[in-house]
Structure 1
């Protein structure tokens, strides 16, 4: 573990990532945290976290495990929250989270709520799985992408008002995205730079991998 910690990878107990995908991220990370059962996934992948943290209801310890284990039994917080709290306490600025999606849908939805809760505590935090990256974006949002990258917008808070975009095939112009009414799924980038502004709400931005898990490492 480096003395100055800037970036972290967190591995949760959802759908396991592609091993090459997470190993690539770990090469640039200062801290690797397994959230409870994520420790089992890490062991199965033959990669070692710096710590395993959580209520430990899913983690199955083995005597040969070389990493530190921290038990946090508080049931008012899920294991991802405990891992993010630990990362924040270490001064981490940038976080990529694997295993926060897939398998149990209720866990995925809860973790998206956690993403909103911790969004302002880090310079960047996003979930990555076999299919996409997802993050909450602030207004104004500006980022460069390869042409024809598939992206989606989704109103996490229920309603996001005044959404305007540039650089997408189907641009929005002061539109309102609302759950069950109108969202921004399955769009494409048609310019090198995408710009999005909005007036209010919590806007999720999905960046879909072009072919498979190895296409967006």
Structure 2
């Protein structure tokens, strides 16, 4: 089954405001407690997936009742996080775009693993973003247009050890053919000076993080 856009709701910090971003033809995946979030807010997941170790038996039954499909796995005998299981199912549907929400939370290890999924999507030609109340995160390997989404800052951080040929237009602090290495904060807390800005990258992968406090 091929779909245009997949929205994954995972079990991290979830903002009910993200439900306003759901379009009629989106394919909705709830990962573990993210599926319960969708059901509790009157949404019907196309797929609920995970080990469901963070929900009660009664909550799992609600998820089962109100989801089109449920795939449960053993919480011990599995190699992937619930979010990656959901991501893999999204990729199999060959979408043009994947949006992940509820993938940032108190577990830094899970947050970093979820950020790495942006690279997996990019390598397969899929547009992908991590989106919540405080952050909108994408990945740039050649060119990106950055729209003003109402966040205060735009920070650029290398995902690969070195990113070269970075040129920014439409930003308060422009760069021209710059190089960033992991560990440098040169491009943190920049700001747009127009409704859109552009980011060019020569080589490497660069996280574009729009954020607010």
- Would you say same fold, with TM above 0.5? yes
Normalised to the residue count of structure 2, the TM-score between the two structures is 0.84
Q: CA deviation at 1:114?
A: 2.0
Question: What is the alpha-carbon distance in structure 2 between the residues aligned to residue 131 and residue 168 of structure 1?
Answer: 20
Q: CA deviation at 1:124?
A: 1.3
Question: What is the alpha-carbon distance in structure 1 between the residues aligned to residue 116 and residue 149 of structure 2?
Answer: 29
Question: What is the alpha-carbon distance in structure 1 between the residues aligned to residue 24 and residue 162 of structure 2?
Answer: 36
Question: What is the alpha-carbon distance in structure 1 between the residues aligned to residue 55 and residue 4 of structure 2?
Answer: 26
Normalised to the residue count of structure 1, the TM-score between the two structures is 0.82
**Within 5 Å, which residues of 2 pair with 1:1-217?**
5-17=3-15, 19=16, 21-60=17-56, 61-63=60-62, 65-67=65-67, 68-73=69-74, 75-145=78-148, 150-208=153-211
With over 3 angstroms needed to count, the CA separation of the structure-2 counterparts of 1:146 and 1:48, relative to structure 1, is closer
Give structure 1 regions of 4+ aligned residues with deviation exceeding 6 angstroms.
none
- Structure 2 alignment gaps of length 5 or more: none
Question: What is the alpha-carbon distance in structure 2 between the residues aligned to residue 135 and residue 126 of structure 1?
Answer: 5
Structure 2 contact 154–211 (Cα < 8 Å) conserved:
yes
Structure 1 contact 99–129 (Cα < 8 Å) conserved:
yes
Q: CA deviation at 1:191?
A: 3.0
With over 3 angstroms needed to count, the CA separation of the structure-2 counterparts of 1:29 and 1:138, relative to structure 1, is farther
- Structure 1 alignment gaps of length 5 or more: 212-217
> Could you report, residue by residue, the CA deviation over 1:33-86 in whole angstroms, capped at 9, with x for unpaired residues?
001221222233343211111233334412573212112456332222221221
Tell me the secondary structure at the aligned position of residue 65 of structure 2.
Answer: coil
Tell me the matched-pair count: 206
